Copies of this chain bind each other. A is one copy, B any other.
């Protein structure tokens, strides 16, 4: 992990860009974090649109987490931003566009091709990022995952024992195979659903929520489209992390 730039945001948050091998990432830490008072960590999940495009929304979420006393980090997803594409993903994206433009249902094959390789590639990268981040003296555990892609968060919650709680955003296609993995999740979950999310199937989201094996799981459904999560819902998710990670 190599830090490539550093700036202090106006509210005292330290923002650092880093690279982890070929993977760019961002780390935000509270001024109060130090080797003697290491901060718990939240990993910020996001859709595969590129960190640069997502930056305004990510930094807003990070400021909120840092204000609550969490170190907060994210990495570029495979195939996003300046990272190399791979042909099968490009093909899946083209198939998805074609199906949606034709008003056809999105087939299981397209969803699998779109999401499963992304999950397979992204999860080990998040784990590598976790290794690197937890080796910093100012960051300690426990660790939470927050956001989308919900299949990435689900897999990570199953395979990575350092994830102690997760806020999952139900706003992306879910391969059928993920339902089996969802049953294996046991950490406390807080699932956010936008009731009128134009690109997301509500019933699939409800079925996935039902499938999660966690004894403590909460669904917060709110009005509005994909990007319209109300501030009070974000505040509520933040309280979930404070309850479980501090």
Interface residues of A (CB under 8 A from B): 195, 206, 209-210, 215-223, 230, 232-233, 236, 239-240, 243
Known: A210-B195, A232-B243, A236-B236. A219 touches B216 (CB 8 A): no
**A166 CB, nearest partner CB in chain B, Å:** 15
Task: Select A219's contact among B210, B220, B232, B243, beta carbons within 8 Å.
Answer: B220
Cα distance A210–B240 when bound, in Å?
Answer: 25
| Chain B residues, Cβ within 8 Å of A239 | 232, 236
- B232 and A222 within 8 A (CB): no
- A209 and B221 within 8 A (CB): yes
Task: Select A220's contact among B206, B216, B220, beta carbons within 8 Å.
Answer: B220
- B218 and A233 within 8 A (CB): yes
- A223 and B233 within 8 A (CB): no
Cα distance A209–B230 when bound, in Å?
Answer: 17
Cα distance A206–B220 when bound, in Å?
Answer: 12
Q: A236 — nearest CB in chain B belongs to which residue?
A: B236
Besides A215-B223, A217-B223, 14 new A-B residue pairs in contact (Cβ under 8 A), listed by A number: A195-B210, A206-B206, A209-B221, A216-B223, A217-B222, A218-B220, A218-B221, A218-B222, A219-B222, A221-B221, A232-B239, A232-B240, A232-B243, A236-B239
Q: A220 — nearest CB in chain B belongs to which residue?
A: B220
- A221 and B222 within 8 A (CB): no
| Chain B residues, Cβ within 8 Å of A218 | 220-223, 232-233
| Chain B residues, Cβ within 8 Å of A217 | 222-223
Cα distance A206–B206 when bound, in Å?
Answer: 10
**A189 CB, nearest partner CB in chain B, Å:** 10
Q: A216 — nearest CB in chain B belongs to which residue?
A: B223
Cα distance A159–B35 when bound, in Å?
Answer: 59
**A200 CB, nearest partner CB in chain B, Å:** 15
Known: A195-B210, A210-B195, A243-B232. A221 touches B223 (CB 8 A): no
| Chain B residues, Cβ within 8 Å of A195 | 210, 219
